Amino acid sequence: MKSAIFSVGTEILFGQITNTNTVYLSQQLNRMGIDVLYHETVGDNPGRVKEVLSRLLSEVDLVITTGGLGPTQDDLTKEMAAEVMGVELKIDEESLEKIRLFFEKTGREMTENNIKQANLPAKDGFILPNNAGTAPGCVFEKDGKIVVCLPGPPREMTRMFEESVIPYLQTLTHEVIYSDMVRVFGIGESQLEYMLQDLITGQTDPTIATYAKEGECSVRVTSKRNTLEEAREAVEAMAEKVTAIVGDYIFSYHDEDLKDVVAKKLMERGLTISCAESCTGGLFASTLIGVEGISSVFERGIVTYSNRAKMEELGVKEETLARYGAVSEETAREMTAGLKKKTGSRVCISVTGIAGPDGGTAEKPVGLVYICVDFDGKTECKEFRVRTVNRNWIRHYSVLLMMDMVNRIIG
C-alpha cells in the first residue's frame, strides 16, 4: 500500500513549529509495511488543500492529513477532503454531545463555531473519537481510496492514531504487526550494525533495524503475521538471537530509557541512592529525579563544582587534589567514600571530569571522566574518554555512563 502524509497549517510554513507529527506517522506507517512516498505541507488555504489532496490521491492509496480540524474559519481540512472524495458531512449528535461535555468539564463556554467540529461523514467513512481534545477525526473511504483526517496537536494525534487508526489499517492489510525496541548502551551504531550484520542481511520476517540517538542505540525487531501471537513469538525469537550477540549491552527489551530502568530497579528494591557530581553539575540527579516516585529512594545530591566544595562536603583530602588533581580516579574514590560516610545511602556514585571547552591539557584532555560507584561496600571506579562533541554532550554522555554503572553494579 502506498501512502502520503499531508500536513495542514500556516504555522508550519512560518517555521513556528517543528513538524514532529510527520516523523511519528512515517515511523508508524513504515513499521506496518505501508510505504510513505510523499510528505507535503500547505497553509490554511482551501484551494491549495484541495489541489494537493486531489493530486496525492491520484498517486497513492492512502493520505493521512494532520491539522485543520478545529473550530475556526481557518480549519477546513475535513471539509476539503469531503469535497475531493465526494462524501457528504452531517452533524453527528454523539460527537457534538462529547464536545459539549468537554467544555462543561473544563468550565469553559462552548462558542457556536465549535459545532462544526461535529460535522462528520455519515457514510463512505467513519468517525475517529478524540479522547484527548475536542475535534474528532474521521476516515473517508471511497473508490479504493482512503483519506484519514487527524488533529494537529501531537498529543491528540498520536492517541487517536494508536487507539483507532492502527487497528483500522491492520484490517486493511489483513496482517498483524508486533514490534519491540531492544535498547543498547556502550557500543556505537556502526559497531552494533557490524555485529548484527548476518541477522540484518538475512532478514525477511522479522525485520531488524538499528537506530542511534544521543549516545544510545536501539534495535527494532518487527514481525508481520496473521495473528498477534505468531508475530510476538517471532519477535521474541529474533530478540533472543540479538541477545546472543550483543546481550552484554542490552538494558531494555521494551523501549525503556536507561534512567527509567535504573530508577525502577532502585524503587522496586528500595535501594537508596545519593550522588556527588562535578562536571555533570547536577544533571545526574536531575535526570533521575525526572522519574515519578523517585523520592522514595533518592536521598541526596551534591554538586561539588569547586575544590573547596569537594573537601568540605565530601572530605576529599587537599593532598589528593594537589597530587592527583580534581579529575582523577583518586579524587573520584574519595568523593564516593565521603558521600557514603555522609549519607549512608546503599548506592553512592560520584563523577569528576573535564567538560570543556577549556581546562584540558595533553595529559588530561577535555572529555576525560572518572566515575566511581559503591553498592553496599562493593566499589567500582572507571576512567572514560568521552567523545568531545561539545560541553553538554560530554555532560549528557557522562550521565549515561553513570546510569550504566549503577545498572550493572546493582545487577
Which positions touch its own copies (CB under 8 A)? 7, 12-20, 22-28, 30, 36-43, 48, 52, 211, 275, 277, 280-286, 288-290, 292-293, 295, 298-306, 308-309, 312-313, 342-343, 357-359, 391-392, 395
Query: In this structure, are residues 355 and 394 in contact, taking their beta carbons and an 8 Å threshold?
Result: yes
Q: Cβ closer to its own copies: 147 or 399? A: 399
Q: Cβ closer to its own copies: 39 or 408? A: 39
Q: Cβ closer to its own copies: 23 or 237? A: 23
Helix (H) or strand (E) holding 137: strand 137-142
Least distance (Å) from its own copies to the CB of residue 67? 13
Q: Alpha carbon of 303 to those of 283, 309, 310: distances in Å?
A: 9, 8, 9
CB atoms within 10 A of CB 16: 9
- The label of the residue with cell 549519607 reads 343
Least distance (Å) from its own copies to the CB of residue 188? 16
Least distance (Å) from its own copies to the CB of residue 405? 18
Q: Cβ closer to its own copies: 129 or 359? A: 359
Least distance (Å) from its own copies to the CB of residue 317? 18
Least distance (Å) from its own copies to the CB of residue 298? 5
Q: Which residues on adjacent β-strands are paired with residue 141?
A: 146
Least distance (Å) from its own copies to the CB of residue 189? 11
Three-class SS of residue 208?
strand
Instruction: Give the integer Cα–Cα distance in Å for 121 and 83.
Output: 11
Instruction: Give the integer Cα–Cα distance in Å for 5 and 187.
Output: 34
Q: Cβ closer to its own copies: 28 or 252? A: 28
The C-alpha angle with vertex 209 and arms to 204 and 212, in degrees rounded to 5, equals: 175
Q: Cβ closer to its own copies: 303 or 403? A: 303
Least distance (Å) from its own copies to the CB of residue 38? 6
Instruction: Give the integer Cα–Cα distance in Å for 352 and 276.
Output: 9
Q: Cβ closer to its own copies: 109 or 292? A: 292
Least distance (Å) from its own copies to the CB of residue 120? 28
**Residue 178's closest CA among 373, 32, 27?**
32
Q: Which three cell numbers stand for residue 226?
A: 496473521
Instruction: Give the integer Cα–Cα distance in Å for 316 and 339.
Output: 10
Q: Exposed, middle or buried by CB within 10 Å (0-12, 13-18, 19+), for 309?
A: middle
Query: In this structure, are residues 128 and 138 in contact, taking their beta carbons and an 8 Å threshold?
Result: yes
Q: Cβ closer to its own copies: 118 or 302? A: 302
